[in-house]
Amino acid sequence: MAVGIFDSGLGGLTVLDAVQKRMPDLPLLYYGDNAHTPYGTRVPDDIYNLTTAGVQALFDRGCDLVILACNTASAAALRRMQEGWVPEGKRVLGVFVPLIEALTERNWGDNSPPRQVAVNDVALFATPATVSSRAFQRELAFRAIGVDVEAQPCGGVVDAIEAGDMILAEALVRSHVEALKRRMPRPQAAILGCTHYPLVEDVFRDALGEDVAVYSQPNLVAASLDDYLQRRPEMLGSGKPGFLTTGDPKSVEAKATLFLRRKISFEGVE
């Protein structure tokens, strides 16, 4: 049995790591679409087609529940998948909702009308595709009113991280924070809307300043998944744990150590 974790590349390994730390006995099957990464600059139909192909591969290997540990896929494809593609008996969950629940201090499954919350000015840092989708703002509007979101498309950060160029990644993060602050000088909270960004979270925190509450996804998603499986243990499925990639396994394995700080083996898939 295994829960599937889908990502456009390697960023979802930060979610996998957090889930394993919270639920060490939970088997996980990871699928990274490294042959087509990054998704952040692709058009919505392309993202949808690639995401459904990857999730279908996880379904075919016995996963009944798949987490889209990719904000771009969650933003551009998830709602469309849930409305007309996900087979009966299967579930696909995204990474936005746990983040918004934490920001708005609402419990999982709280379907009460949107209300005023403590945070009014929110900075969102994400890929260009996530920003252009406005999916975060749409999901937030279901739960809160009166929140001003200023979004900054962080071009180049994912590429720099996956290339292992952390000096460039830090420079880009500081540039993007500076650009956002010109439009929203005093955000109360900042959302790191990409699962790669935990690797440079300390840079975001330093650039934003200690007065800004920073919300990062992996631990929040892990806590939400734990809660979900306690209520729906039948969604564990029958898949076998492991690591799959559409890219060259050896190349992907070398880069993956940056995310997990340990060596893992990937199986290549079409």
Which residues form the catalytic set?
70, 194
**Identity of the residue numbered 261:** R
CA distance 78 to 202: 29
Q: What are phi and psi of 164, to 5 degrees?
A: 75, 15
